[in-house]
Structures are given as C-alpha cells and as structure tokens.
Amino acid sequence: MKDNLRRIQTCTPDVKHLRILVHGPVGAGKSSFINSIDSIFQGRLTSGAIVDAATGHSFTKTFQTHYIKDEIHHGFLTFAFCDIMGLELGQSEGVQTEDLSKVLKGHIKDGYTEQMDIPKE
C-alpha cells in the first residue's frame, strides 16, 4: 500500500499536492491520524500535528496543511493532510460550517485561526 501511495500523481502539473481535509468531532484523533501516516512514511515517530484530547475542547486552533515526507525518496508525497479545529456543539465554539465550506473551496490559507474574520465572497 505504501508503494501505491508513493506513486500517486496529480492529473494537472499546476497541482502539486492532493489535499485531504481531516475533520470530525473534538478528540476523534484527527491530528493523531496525521501523525501516524507521517510516522509510517518517515520510518520513525513524528509529531508534526500537536495533540491533546484531555481538554474537551478543540486543541487544534489553526488551519494547517501537513505535507508527508517520504524517507525513501527524501521528498514529499503528492498528498497532504489539512488539519482543522474539531466540530463542537454551540455557535461560538469549534469549526463553523462556513469555515469548512471555504476550506473546501481553497479560500483559507495555512495558519488561519477559526472564529476570526473570514474574507467574504
């Protein structure tokens, strides 16, 4: 499976990475999943996506793309994982529906902190 994933190519030369949005409820293991995939391809334990499930609220506060390094080819794979704040109950907590929509359309840059002013379309 690792060899198949290493061979993934994008159809358009302008697209360098296939971005995969990882979203779900708080504490579901989104950041841990990203770290697991990164660790598998680097051949060692990594922790690029910081985790803490004990708080009951989303630990991830900024939108961040995690590029997966490949220990064999000494470069990055053609897919990357986008980590985002967890889904929470309440209008003023967690990632909001309009944030997810903008992420999927590519309108959110790395480092964006949810719940801040979002550029209007």
When pLDDT is averaged across residues 105-118 and rounded to a whole number, the result is 66
Residue 88 DSSP class: -
Tell me which H or E stretch contains 18.
strand 18-22
In a domain, 115, yes or no: no
Q: State how many domains the chain has.
A: 1
When pLDDT is averaged across residues 6-27 and rounded to a whole number, the result is 87
In a domain, 66, yes or no: yes
pTM for the complete prediction? 0.72
* Structure confidence by residue, pLDDT tens digits, 41-99: 988 887 766 555 555 555 566 778 889 998 888 889 999 998 887 776 665 566 667 77
In a domain, 35, yes or no: yes
In a domain, 70, yes or no: yes
In a domain, 119, yes or no: no
Is residue 120 over pLDDT 60?
A: no
Residue 117 DSSP class: -
In a domain, 17, yes or no: yes
Is residue 118 over pLDDT 50?
A: no
b/e 65-94 (16+ beta carbons within 10 angstroms → b): ebbbbbeeeeeebbebbbbbbbbbeeeebb
Owning domain of residue 14: 2-104
Among residues 44, 55, 50, which one has the least CA distance to residue 31?
50
* Structure confidence by residue, pLDDT tens digits, 27-53: 788 888 998 999 999 888 877 665 555
In a domain, 24, yes or no: yes
In a domain, 109, yes or no: no
